[in-house]
Structure 1
Amino acid sequence: MKDRQPLMAALNENMLIVNMLLSLFFLPGALTVYCGGYNPALRITTPNNMEALIGSCLQIPCTYNTKDPTYNSSKTIYGIWMKGGVNFGVNPSPVIFNSSGLINTFSLNITGNLKEKNCTTLFPNLTTSHTNKYFFRVENGPFRVTACADPLQITVKDSPWSPSINVPSDLKENQSVTVTCSAFTPCPQSPPELTWNLQQDSLRQTEKNTNGTFTTKIQKNITLSDTHDGYNISCSARYPVIGGNKTAETKVTLSVSYAPRNTSASISPSALVSAGSRVELSCSSRAKPPPSFTWFRNSKDGATKVSVSQVYSFNVTEEEKFYCVATNDLGQQKSSVILVDIKDDQSSEFQILNILKILGIVLLCTSIIIFECWFRFSKKPKKEPEEPTYVNNVMVTKAS
């Protein structure tokens, strides 16, 4: 019996040491040493940083993994969320949620199946005071470990996220494209409502991303034409929050390439020109990218190329017809034919002389008539005034 007393004393001493080590291991301050110096026994997969909107909720995608032999999925598993910094010994992180139901400060809800190592959590009714760093912990019998190597930073903001408008690059006319408006969706239970200035015939879809977050989007198929170049597409996302909605908008301008349109030719001076004088032909067209211009002369033998430029100047020698062609990578367009007409200078001079002669004759005749009228009027004798006749001292006038 006496021989067994030293053995029992040694066992008691070892048990005391083990208890002290276990106590030290589970002290809050020991977690920092454990995370920093050893491979963590619990790892979670979740975005490192997540943003949420005031008055809305946040769904945290979360899975966990451990290779610790003390973990036993057949036993009860509790998921715990803690809020605070890394150094738990100096500034202990308070437990804000325990799936056992003992603590739930922020009305959290683990929607994932902990037995399937799914710790997805719904965080409702967020305010700016919820902006902080959070840690997840699993308690499963003797397995009680915090994933202190995988903190989750949550930032709660007052302004919503602007939606994004996705349009394929290198747009061309007659091309059929799909335009997508998408918005970040931190709370898939209350996705944003998307509207835009395109025809409202597409259904809203909320899709799960590869990292477990969600995106809400609408789509529209468009067959492009030249009229879509410079067209502004606007899309707004309205997020439902407590007490109302918060809205953000995004706009993009389409850049569509198209073949030449409205190609026309003009001449300066536009009136009849004399032989030997210089004229300038100008070609214009609406196209993207800007077109090149080629001038052709129409003759009995067919069209002949005379210039590769927007403006073609030359001295007129005879009456001729011209047209231009605008060309870019997407096509070409021909202008209407323009006539360079030469005036008959001799015929014009003869007409002017005839007009002057006629004017001279008219002026001469008018002068003669005026003079004859004046002469006749000046030679007409003047009537003498008649003496009045008195009868019985009464003046009598003659009836005319």
Structure 2
Amino acid sequence: MSVFPFMVFLFFYELVLVSSELVYSELPSSITALSGSCVQIPCKFNGSEISLKNTETVFGFWIMKDHAFARPPSLVVFNGRANIITGFSHIEILGNLSQRECTTVFYDVMKNHSDKYYFRVETSTAQKYTYQNPIYISVSDSPQPLVLKPTDLKEVMEETTVHLNCSAEAPCPKQPPTISWSNIPESAHITTQLQEKPDKTQSVFSHMTFKASYMDHRKNISCTVTYPRKTSNDSTVETTVMLRVLFPPKETHITIDSSASVSVGTNVTLTCKSKANPSNDMNYTWYKSGHQLDSGEQLTFTVNRKSGGWYFCTAKNEHGNEKSEEIQLIVAESLSLIIGCVVGVSAFLLLFLLITLFLRVQRLKASTIKETDISDQGQEKQVQISSIYTNGAFVSGEELEMPKDENDIVHYGEIDFSTPQTKSTIVKSSGQETIYAEVRGQEKEMNQD
């Protein structure tokens, strides 16, 4: 190959650049947008060939498909000088063109907007420059996948600090996506922000830190990103990572195959259960009343009278060990003795209560009979006082009382023992009949000296 044709080619290339006024701008080679959303194009243009003064007015242009400005004019989607937008609902240049910043936002992009786009700048002094390197905008109906790091968490030791990062493209920082976490540990702390990548595009970044706990082992932690868009539904994308935690035995306890009460002659199996990671090299040891019995996850034996008592187990792996709570195994005969004692004591208490109740009833009956006798005796005394016997005269207590009123008439009886006769005198007073007896004794002759 000769050198002459190569030199001719370089000369021709430089001539095209000068005559076409093509210069370079700082644009990413491509960017992916989500349909129904917007896309922000980071843009700067170099100024070695451009003389910009603070007093100059600078206008920006965006051309689709071809860098040629006038072939055809319909390819000019944004004309900053005439403020004309073609094919888009809205296009906005955010950068300060006088500072050579041309960052632009294309709103409501659709699938048919996927194409190459060139930037052009013009000044009021008739300087015109079209930038040769375009950006390719790719419009998709689905958002780009998330990036969750680390993608596969290696096993971490309990109580160590874990870092998880979830990031997603943010093609439209004016309408940024939102990041949410699910099934996160209780100690998690989360920060979320927009970050600029080396190519000047942006992404939303969420950082989570937490202390690993054995309760988080095998937990699926999910990161979900939601993109707002002018459609019936927002777009979401999700990714998940499983957390693996190394920890010593936890929640160690004993289970029994039937119940805690067994009878002599039956077989019983005790199982030591525990949570741990790793669990494939677990060691179990059995104890009764503090004395070691056997090793292994299960303890099986035939029950006899000496089998009753308190049992516990220990579980151990390479990271530590733990002791279970003690459980009591009650043999049926021992249970019968306890039940018999309880029944005996209950029967004794019941008998004592019945005897006490019986004695109380008897005392109550005796008290009632005594009160009745006293009442009857009082009545008999009243009858005796008001009775009159032939050997004497008795007057009731009421008749011995003094007259309470001057109208009451008092009658006196006369007893004469000289005549052996008995006569009765009836005196009526105040409507009542009073009977007095007169007794006369037989006269005896007395010898007088």
TM value normalised by structure 2: 0.52
Out of 242, 254, 274, the position equivalent to 2:242 is: 254
Residues 1:147 and 2:131 aligned together:
yes
Give the counterpart letter for 2:97 in structure 1: L
Instruction: Specify whether residues 137 and 228 from structure 1 end up closer, same or farther in structure 2 by C-alpha distance, changes over 3 A only.
Output: same
* Contact 1:268 1:281 (C-alpha < 8 Å) held by counterparts: yes
Give the counterpart letter for 1:146 in structure 2: T
Instruction: Specify whether residues 202 and 253 from structure 1 end up closer, same or farther in structure 2 by C-alpha distance, changes over 3 A only.
Output: closer
Deviation string for 1:142-197 (max 9, x for gaps)? 7644332x321101112234555556934443344455554322111112244444
Residues 1:54 and 2:35 aligned together:
yes
Q: 2:345 maps to which residue? A: none
Matches of 2:145 and 2:279 in 1, distance apart?
Answer: 34
Out of 105, 111, 132, the position equivalent to 2:115 is: 132
Matches of 2:282 and 2:209 in 1, distance apart?
Answer: 35
Out of 291, 312, 315, the position equivalent to 1:326 is: 315
Matches within 5 A, 1:288-327: 288-296=277-285, 325-327=314-316
Instruction: Specify whether residues 202 and 286 from structure 1 end up closer, same or farther in structure 2 by C-alpha distance, changes over 3 A only.
Output: closer
Q: 1:71 maps to which residue? A: 50
Determine helix, strand or coil for the equivalent of 1:129.
Answer: helix
Determine helix, strand or coil for the equivalent of 1:115.
Answer: helix
Matches of 2:300 and 2:62 in 1, distance apart?
Answer: 83
Matches of 1:104 and 1:313 in 2, distance apart?
Answer: 85
Instruction: Specify whether residues 172 and 256 from structure 1 end up closer, same or farther in structure 2 by C-alpha distance, changes over 3 A only.
Output: farther
Q: 1:287 maps to which residue? A: 276
Q: 2:215 maps to which residue? A: 227
Q: 2:171 maps to which residue? A: 186
Shift of 1:269: 12
Matches of 1:73 and 1:234 in 2, distance apart?
Answer: 51
Matches of 1:90 and 1:118 in 2, distance apart?
Answer: 26
Q: 2:61 maps to which residue? A: 80
* Contact 2:189 2:209 (C-alpha < 8 Å) held by counterparts: no
Deviation string for 1:314-373 (max 9, x for gaps)? 9xxx999996543334432234679999xxxxxxxxxxxxxxxxxxxxxxxxxxxxxxxx
Determine helix, strand or coil for the equivalent of 2:200.
Answer: coil
Matches within 5 A, 1:24-39: 25=16
Determine helix, strand or coil for the equivalent of 1:146.
Answer: strand
Instruction: Specify whether residues 61 and 80 from structure 1 end up closer, same or farther in structure 2 by C-alpha distance, changes over 3 A only.
Output: same
Higher relative contact order (CA 8 A, sep 6+): 1
Larger radius of gyration, structure 1 or 2? 2
Task: Give unpaired runs (5+ residues) of structure 2.
Answer: 1-11, 331-449
Matches of 2:145 and 2:84 in 1, distance apart?
Answer: 36
Instruction: Specify whether residues 57 and 339 from structure 1 end up closer, same or farther in structure 2 by C-alpha distance, changes over 3 A only.
Output: closer
Shift of 1:129: 1.2
Matches of 1:209 and 1:217 in 2, distance apart?
Answer: 11
Give the counterpart letter for 1:208 in structure 2: E
Determine helix, strand or coil for the equivalent of 2:159.
Answer: coil
Give the counterpart letter for 1:184 in structure 2: E
Out of 212, 227, 237, the position equivalent to 2:200 is: 212
Instruction: Specify whether residues 322 and 102 from structure 1 end up closer, same or farther in structure 2 by C-alpha distance, changes over 3 A only.
Output: closer
Determine helix, strand or coil for the equivalent of 1:287.
Answer: strand
Matches of 2:95 and 2:69 in 1, distance apart?
Answer: 27
The number of residues matched between the two structures is: 306
Determine helix, strand or coil for the equivalent of 1:254.
Answer: strand
Shift of 1:210: 3.7
Residues 1:120 and 2:109 aligned together:
no
Shift of 1:266: 7.4
TM value normalised by structure 1: 0.57
Give the superposed CA RMSD: 4.9
Determine helix, strand or coil for the equivalent of 1:109.
Answer: strand
Matches of 1:268 and 1:215 in 2, distance apart?
Answer: 57
Instruction: Specify whether residues 177 and 47 from structure 1 end up closer, same or farther in structure 2 by C-alpha distance, changes over 3 A only.
Output: same
Matches of 1:269 and 1:186 in 2, distance apart?
Answer: 64
Instruction: Specify whether residues 299 and 111 from structure 1 end up closer, same or farther in structure 2 by C-alpha distance, changes over 3 A only.
Output: closer
Q: 1:359 maps to which residue? A: none
Determine helix, strand or coil for the equivalent of 2:50.
Answer: coil
Shift of 1:124: 1.1
Matches within 5 A, 1:261-280: 261-264=250-253
Shift of 1:55: 1.9
Give the counterpart letter for 2:118 in structure 1: F
Matches of 2:148 and 2:166 in 1, distance apart?
Answer: 4
* Contact 1:163 1:182 (C-alpha < 8 Å) held by counterparts: yes
Give the counterpart letter for 2:138 in structure 1: T
Determine helix, strand or coil for the equivalent of 2:175.
Answer: coil
* Contact 2:162 2:211 (C-alpha < 8 Å) held by counterparts: yes
Task: Give unpaired runs (5+ residues) of structure 1.
Answer: 1-20, 35-40, 342-400
Identity %: 30
Matches within 5 A, 1:99-114: 99-101=80-82, 103-105=84-86, 106=88, 107-114=90-97
